[in-house]
Structure 1
């Protein structure tokens, strides 16, 4: 009987510790942090996909489509809050606008 009581007490203690750990994870911001990290990964992947679409458009030799797609890449980096790549792609978008005859200098 004494062994069953010790086992039961040990299981209870382990369950309480596990419950506290789960509670801390969900209430202490662990889930929010994970969601935030996953969203950033998704936003970065969207931007990389937009770059691939730009390359396809550029290989298609449609200057207006290439210009539009460069703007889409810039917008994807803006959404991802990646200022360096956003500025890079805004410059590319401007160059593609010139190539498409959209900007006259």
Structure 2
């Protein structure tokens, strides 16, 4: 076990010592340097993720997932209205589904449900 000089007091201490027996300072050795390098890399990665757009992309993915779940829930509510609701209930629920797909930026489903809304509202006597 080689000796090294304490960076604080200059005393000769073992390279494996956890602290200097003279002044109590933790010696700067390769393990401390390695953990500092790893810590620096983690910090840079976190800063890059936060400021480099990673956070925004993750938020956009999460938001799209939530919007599609809202649209799916609206379809389920329409199905309930279709089986046990009035003609006006069907009209209103079809409109909610169309609006949910519009919010989710799903143009194909929006057009389908907009037509369904028009049909249901026509059957309920609501002009469209």
TM-score normalised by the chain length of structure 2: 0.76
CA RMSD for the aligned pairs?
Answer: 1.5
Instruction: Give the length in aligned residue pairs.
Output: 104
Higher strand share: 2
Higher helix share: 1
Whole-angstrom distance in 2 between the partners of 1:27 and 1:93: 43
Specify every segment of 5 or more residues in structure 1 that has no aligned partner in the other structure, as ranges: none
Structure 2 residue aligned with 1:64, among 88, 93, 111? 88
Cross-structure match for 1:24: 48
Whole-angstrom distance in 1 between the partners of 2:77 and 2:51: 40
Q: How many angstroms does 1:98 deviate by?
A: 1.8
Cross-structure match for 1:6: 30
Residue 101 of structure 1 aligns to a residue in which SS? coil
Cross-structure match for 1:40: 64
Whole-angstrom distance in 1 between the partners of 2:60 and 2:108: 20
Specify every segment of 5 or more residues in structure 2 that has no aligned partner in the other structure, as ranges: 1-13, 17-27
Q: How many angstroms does 1:47 deviate by?
A: 0.5
Compare CA radii of gyration and give the structure with the larger one. Answer: 2
Q: Which has the higher contact order (CA 8 A, sep 6+)?
A: 1
Q: How many angstroms does 1:97 deviate by?
A: 1.4
